């Protein structure tokens, strides 16, 4: 993902590790609560965000192998580093996503979707973009 900043365009490296629990696994729709660890590294600046996120996923089976998922998460980063390298006060991080998953194996899905990270700090940042990847379920 990338985002335009005042002083040019910079790349943002994003990684997220997520664990969740399905509340109703046997129906056409699924509701899952999750906890995730989100890491954002804006590598053209000395800016990092690291936050535990709490949220919910809502999914709906379109076909036997395809489903739509909407997700919302919220977290607070107590040690955000801003561009000057200083630590700022706690930062709120919200994530919203919509994606379509296609099951290629029992515990493996491919997905494509759209995700937005909204970060409230001295200058509001909104990191939005298209995403694609693989999900492994254990």
Q: How far apart are CA 16 and CA 47, in angstroms?
A: 17
The CA angle 46-52-55, to the nearest 5 degrees, is 130
- Can you give the pLDDT at residue 82? 60
Residue percentage of the chain with pLDDT more than 90: 26
Overall average pLDDT of the 40-45 stretch: 65
CB 121 within 8 A of CB 80: yes
pLDDT tens, residue by residue, 49-108: 778 889 999 999 888 899 899 999 998 877 666 655 566 666 788 889 999 999 999 889
3-class SS shares of the chain: helix, strand, coil, % to 5: 0, 75, 25
CA distances for 9 relative to 6, 12, 102, 118, 132, angstroms? 8, 10, 33, 18, 22
Q: How far apart are CA 70 and CA 58, in angstroms?
A: 5
- Can you give the pLDDT at residue 1? 37
Q: What is the domain count for the chain?
A: 1
- Can you give the pLDDT at residue 85? 59
Domain that holds residue 127: 2-136
Residue-averaged pLDDT of the chain: 79
127: CATH: 2.40.160
Residue percentage of the chain with pLDDT more than 70: 72
Say if residue 14's pLDDT is above 70.
yes
Q: How far apart are CA 125 and CA 5, in angstroms?
A: 9
Alpha helices in 29-84 (DSSP H): none
Q: How confident is the model at residue 5 (pLDDT cuts 50, 70, 90)?
A: very low
Q: What is the pTM of this model?
A: 0.69
Other beta carbons within 10 Å of 129: 13
């Amino acid at each position: 993902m990338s985002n335009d900043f005042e002083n040019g365009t910079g790349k943002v490296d994003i990684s997220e590790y997520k664990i969740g629990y399905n509340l109703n696994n046997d129906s056409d729709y699924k509701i899952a609560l999750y906890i995730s660890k989100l890491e954002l590294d804006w590598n053209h600046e000395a800016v990092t965000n690291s936050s535990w996120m709490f949220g919910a996923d809502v999914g709906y089976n379109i076909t036997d192998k395809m489903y739509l998922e909407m997700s919302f998460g919220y977290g607070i980063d107590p040690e955000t580093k801003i561009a000057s390298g200083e630590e700022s006060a706690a930062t709120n991080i919200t994530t919203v996503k919509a994606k379509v998953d296609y099951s290629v194996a029992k515990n493996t899905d491919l997905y494509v979707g759209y995700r937005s990270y909204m970060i409230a700090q001295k200058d509001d940042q909104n990191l939005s973009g298209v995403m694609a990847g693989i999900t492994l379920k254990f």
